[in-house]
Structure 1
């Protein structure tokens, strides 16, 4: 569960956050400061998990409706920038960020299209289709 209570699955929240990264979200400055804090100190290929402070920040981050209303599309892809912010050396070869639920997508009032490349079983995306949101496989 996402600690902010907005989404059932934290990994789905990551996809939502990724969709906001290039839209000047309210949290941009705080996240950038955290990224910069760890940029030079990350121990590459050590087998360590996600950067704990960034993960905690993202888990508790409450996404404002002002930001959520900017989202008209989502992309489920292992190459999303957010994964490399959390774990810069992540190679996409495990299920660390796999999505098991999209519950909470109802907060995305302007969502029209979902691009599916990877990161979940296609069945996970069925609620989008039932809500009339186009899923591109």
Structure 2
């Protein structure tokens, strides 16, 4: 990556951004596909059918290492967290969405995204929504 990278505080916030930039807007290429990834992964055999009910560690590591250029920051106008998002299906292919695995815990990363105005989130904490509203973001629970 040539430009400056965004340093994230919250990994789940980063995943929500990757969903927008890689899977929705297609600005980050190539799109990560867990099945293509395991076919080419040489360090060990990953059995998606057996392991896909929990986060696949190598997929998590891929996204942790993925650098996001600051030039994309202004492209983010909304975040929509949903259990069926591609990002989550490529980390935990058979995730049922019934736990808080991908809940954003810290919202400090908002500072990187000046055009972020709308968020749909997994969180059920009313304080999260109050704080986001104070920052000019229309946020609602899923």
Q: Which residue of 2 aligns with 1:25?
A: 27
Offset of residue 55 of structure 1: 0.9
Q: Which residue of 2 aligns with 1:37?
A: 37
Alignment of 1:1-137 (within 5 A): 6-20=7-21, 21-26=23-28, 28-29=29-30, 31-32=32-33, 35-38=35-38, 42-46=47-51, 49-116=54-121, 118-119=122-123, 121-137=125-141
Unaligned runs of 5+ in 1: none
Offset of residue 133 of structure 1: 1.6
Offset of residue 76 of structure 1: 2.7
Distance 2:128 2:70 in 1: 24
Offset of residue 35 of structure 1: 4.9
**Higher-Rg member (1/2):** 2
Distance 2:78 2:52 in 1: 33
Q: Which residue of 1 aligns with 2:43?
A: none
- The number of equivalent residue pairs is 131
Contact kept in structure 1, 2:56 and 2:92, CA below 8 Å? yes
Offset of residue 45 of structure 1: 4.9
| Aligned-residue RMSD, C-alpha | 2.7
Task: Give per-residue Cα distances to partners, 1:84-109, cap 9 Å, x unaligned.
Answer: 01111111122221221111111112
Offset of residue 7 of structure 1: 2.3
Distance 1:46 1:53 in 2: 11
Distance 2:48 2:62 in 1: 20
Unaligned runs of 5+ in 2: 40-45
TM-score (norm 2): 0.74
